[in-house]
Structure 1
Amino acid sequence: MKTAYIGIEKKKARWGWIFVTPAVLLFLLFSLYPMLNAFFNTFFTMKLLSLRAPKFVGLKNYAYILQSKDFWNSAKATLFFTFGAFVPLTILSMVLALAITSRKKSGRAIQLIIYSPAILSSVVAALIWILIFDPRGLGNSVLNFLMRSPGVDHQWLTDPVMLRICTSTIYVWKYVGYFTIIFVTGIAKIPTSVLEAATIDGAQKHQIIQRIIFPLIKPTTVMVSIVAMLNCLKSFSTQYLFTQRGAPLEPINVITLNIYNTAMRDLNISRACVMSVLLFLIMMGLTLIRLKSSEKETVSY
């Protein structure tokens, strides 16, 4: 009997490997190999479309990038964009999730409405907002109406501060619905018995939110914060399209855009790979810090 059980388990394991193997092969071919190849290329001088053999230069590419003002400007632009999009996105999605779960009616319709921008591609979303931020667009018209300043161009696409606000606004608008749904799911997992017990004990609504809901959705909050932060650090399409429409490069020259320009415009593959590796290390470091900080408190029910 025991032998038959072991044989069944081996068959299950064999079929498991059969089903997993295609996904593993695709990951190795299209994810792991490009990452390892990019890291390998950082130690060589490589030019796109060049027929010359790569020349080994050791850590010179890293030294050049770390001393480059252009890279540090990209790091600053990435920091501004990430902070300007990540913080409002996390807070707003949580507030909307609390508002939706507190409504017994029309909750599904509200979720559908706020989630709809998430189904758009980043390119389409950026193009829509470029039209809104045009000097003759809806953005200027609404702001001039509110400020009673007809005909004033508020320079959404030319002023550095306004440009950073615009790119962050587009990202928040596009993804707030996506993260709201995640928060709604996390809140829905809280047992109703816990909330009912708190209500019977006389807890006010704000006390239930602060002392019960917030602690119990901490795993969801950690996951949302990490995913939102990583997506902000990887943002590219919006900044690229804005610069293609004539916006100044420096305020929104995030690291991903700098990588693209270095590789495709300057044809310097090795330095682009260096920036990719540095961006990966930044993302990994921030993720580990966030996970470490979330381990200080554990809440269960």
Structure 2
Amino acid sequence: MSATTAPKQLSKPAVSGQVRPGKERSARSHETLIGAAMASPAVILLIVFFLVPVLLAFGLAFTNARLISPRPPRFVGADNFITLFGDSLFWASLRNTAYFAVIVVPVQAGLALILALLANAKVRGTNFFRTVYFVPVVTSMVVISLLWRFIYQPDGLLNQIIEAVTFGHLHGTDWLNNPTTAMPAIMFMSIWQAVGFHMIIWLAGLQTIPQDLYEAASLDGASGWKTFTHVTWPSLRATRTFILITITIAALSLFTQISVMTQGGPLDRTTTVVFMAVRAGYEQQSTGYAAAVSLVFFVLVLAVSGVQRFLTRDEA
């Protein structure tokens, strides 16, 4: 061996517990594949039942497509939207939808909060009342609507109760065929049916509030109302935002109650935007026009939800 030959460098022993870069990349790739496989069913369902229908509705809104027709759809530009904005029924349905939402959203949210506060009290029997309030939620809306349609009949249970309480001095009206009472009757039934679901959401939010805050408020001598306004209500910010948005979307999407109970009558006093779209698409078979109505409704709901989310956002 020549004296000028450089001595061989000894390799450093591997540090115990150190992961090689190749193995680390392999592990990350494996985790990515597992994550993609677990998320793929939800992604596929989202694409098939949301993205594809939205794209189809957007395309059909600019055509004269019909549900059953031997002629292929033809591009008509903005004709459907021009007809829609000139249709008095559309503006009437929009007013009915707004009327329903403006009343139902605050009343249902407030009543659900009151029930949640009562159910959150440390008293006996609260589990029973939670179950009772939640029973209408798990019952089909079609069944609920049929039940209340019989209750609202001229010889139904509601009018019989009114006559019994007033000893025959007052007689109820035909609630669903009276233009003045049809929409309020549907509002009352809708609030009764869904208040239990939002009560559970409020209750979940109430139970996440630390008890230390209530103890501190009690030591400071805060009354029940001050404790609610300074401890309970601010702590329910995230829950409040979720409930308001979900109730608003459900109120704007009113359809089942109208379809079962009134069919949009009397005198179109209960016709909503969604019911108008369904009737135009299936009964009148104007698929393109119904797609235009649905697209306008989607934009309106998106705008209302965005404004509501902005108004209830967390302050920096």
**TM-score of Structure 1 vs Structure 2, range by shorter chain:** over 0.9
- Secondary structure in structure 2 of the residue aligned to 1:85: helix
Could you state the TM-score of these two structures normalised by the residue count of structure 1?
Answer: 0.94
Structure 2: how far apart are the matches of 1:247 and 1:273?
A: 23
Structure 1: how far apart are the matches of 2:155 and 2:20?
A: 78
Are positions 1:252 and 2:252 aligned together? no
Q: 1:47 aligns with which of 53, 56, 66?
A: 66
Structure with max Cα Rg: 2
Structure 1 position 153, deviation (Å): 3.6
Counterpart AA for 2:217: A
Are positions 1:88 and 2:107 aligned together? yes
Matching residue of 2:309: 291
Q: Deviations over 1:151-184 (max 9, x none)?
A: 7241211112211111111111111000000000
- Secondary structure in structure 1 of the residue aligned to 2:176: coil
Q: How does 1:138-177 map to 2 (within 5 A)?
A: 138-149=157-168, 152-177=171-196
Unpaired runs of 5+ in structure 1?
none
Structure 1: how far apart are the matches of 2:82 and 2:52?
A: 25
Are positions 1:77 and 2:96 aligned together? yes
Structure 1: how far apart are the matches of 2:311 and 2:47?
A: 31
Q: How does 1:207-286 map to 2 (within 5 A)?
A: 207-244=226-263, 247-248=265-266, 250-286=268-304
Structure 1 position 51, deviation (Å): 1.1
Counterpart AA for 1:277: L
- Secondary structure in structure 2 of the residue aligned to 1:287: helix
Q: Deviations over 1:263-289 (max 9, x none)?
A: 111111111111101111111001100
Structure 1: how far apart are the matches of 2:179 and 2:20?
A: 72
Taking only aligned residues, the RMSD between alpha carbons, in angstroms, comes to 1.6
Structure 1: how far apart are the matches of 2:73 and 2:188?
A: 42
Counterpart AA for 2:114: V
Structure 2: how far apart are the matches of 1:144 and 1:297?
A: 53
Structure 2: how far apart are the matches of 1:23 and 1:182?
A: 24
Q: 1:34 aligns with which of 50, 53, 56?
A: 53
Q: Deviations over 1:189-243 (max 9, x none)?
A: 0011111111111111111111110011011011001000100111111101112
Counterpart AA for 2:279: N
**Residues 147 and 297 of structure 1: CA distance in aligned 2, closer, same or farther (over 3 Å):** farther
**Structure 1 stretch 268-277 or stretch 94-103: which is displaced more?**
94-103
Counterpart AA for 1:281: V
Q: Deviations over 1:30-74 (max 9, x none)?
A: 211011100111111111200112111111111110111010011
**Structure 1 stretch 259-268 or stretch 140-149: which is displaced more?**
140-149
Is the CA contact (8 Å cut-off) linking 1:43 and 1:270 kept in structure 2?
yes
Q: 1:197 aligns with which of 186, 203, 216?
A: 216
Counterpart AA for 1:248: P
Are positions 1:25 and 2:59 aligned together? no
Matching residue of 1:106: 125
How many matched pairs?
297
**Structure 1 stretch 141-150 or stretch 68-77: which is displaced more?**
141-150
Are positions 1:135 and 2:150 aligned together? no
Counterpart AA for 2:72: A
Unpaired runs of 5+ in structure 2?
1-18
Structure 1: how far apart are the matches of 2:289 and 2:267?
A: 19
Could you state the TM-score of these two structures normalised by the residue count of structure 2?
Answer: 0.90
Structure 1 position 105, deviation (Å): 2.4
Q: 1:8 aligns with which of 16, 27, 45?
A: 27
Structure 1: how far apart are the matches of 2:229 and 2:163?
A: 39
Is the CA contact (8 Å cut-off) linking 1:97 and 1:180 kept in structure 2?
yes
- Secondary structure in structure 1 of the residue aligned to 2:72: coil
Counterpart AA for 2:207: A
